[in-house]
Amino acid sequence: MKFFLDTADLGEIREAVSWGVIDGVTTNPSLFAKTGGKLADFERHIGAICELCPGLPVSAESCAETAEGMVEDGRRLAAIADNVVVKLPISTEALAATHTLAQEGIAVNMTLIFTVPQALLAARAGARYVSPFVGRFDDIAEDGVEQLVQVCEAIHGFDFGHEVEIIGASIRTPHHVTEAALAGCDIATVPFKALKKAVRHPLTDRGLALFMEDWKKVEQA
Ligand code: E4P
């Protein structure tokens, strides 16, 4: 399974890319708002992210409400850099926009996917990436992992005539990362904080402390 970083923070992207584990970046309007960026800076900001990870897919979301608006946004966003993927929250308008953008060779990441039918429709319309959410099910005390398993089974069992990758999204814990991998996700998009947590384990910390302790006992030559 590949790792995308789920953030619009340039510092986080720079650092995680330096670890050599990042295969792409996903952003959304909430993540961009968190950076404190202004609307007028949005496209420049996406360009800066693309420069930090050349050749790796960077999802930039359209907030248009009509299919025409999404297509227009999609074309503009895709012109920022070759590695921009247009992110669209699923709706009938977004399906129509995806159909058009895919025919123009523009990759779409269809987001806010919570059911198998939504995932199948997104892929059928031409989405290159389908993003089922896990954590937001937890928020309403439902099982996001079960949905993820079902989406993976349904999507991987069908030939859509183009490549479709499943991005496990709304991943908030190392446990979600495990579940996404076991469910068969191609990618998990993980916030920086959760990615850092995934590197750690209390037994790793304890083992390291012991190694350091014992190393001090080794006689110096
Ligand atoms: C990614 O594409 C989504 O926008 C993101 O994973 C949502 O995560 P959240 O539910 O933690 O906001």
| pLDDT digits 0-9 by tens, 33-82 | 999 999 999 999 999 999 999 999 999 999 999 999 999 999 999 999 99
**Catalytic annotation on 217?**
no
- Going 181 to 184 to 187 to 193, the CA torsion angle's sign is negative
Q: Which of 2, 87, 193, 196 is catalytic?
A: 87
| pLDDT digits 0-9 by tens, 145-200 | 999 999 999 999 999 999 999 999 999 999 999 999 999 999 999 999 999 999 99
Domains and CATH numbers, the chain: 2-217 (3.20.20.70)
CB 171 within 8 A of CB 134: yes
What pLDDT score does 221 carry? 61
By 3-state DSSP, what share of the chain in percent is helix, strand and coil, each rounded to 5?
50, 15, 30
What pLDDT score does 219 carry? 79
What pLDDT score does 13 carry? 98
- Going 164 to 30 to 39 to 48, the CA torsion angle's sign is negative
In ligand 1, the atom with minimum distance to the C-alpha of 30 is: 12
CB 108 within 8 A of CB 128: yes
Ligand 1 centroid to residue 66 C-alpha, Å:
22
pLDDT over 70 for what percent of the chain? 100
Q: Is the CB of 27 under 6 A from ligand 1?
A: no
Asked if residue 128 has pLDDT above 80, the reply is: yes
Helix (H) or strand (E) holding 4: strand 2-6
| pLDDT digits 0-9 by tens, 22-44 | 999 999 999 999 999 999 999 99
Q: Is the CB of 100 under 6 A from ligand 1?
A: no
Provide the pLDDT confidence category of residue 113 given band limits of 50, 70 and 90. Answer: very high
Ligand 1 centroid to residue 169 C-alpha, Å:
5
Ligand 1 centroid to residue 74 C-alpha, Å:
20
What pLDDT score does 18 carry? 97
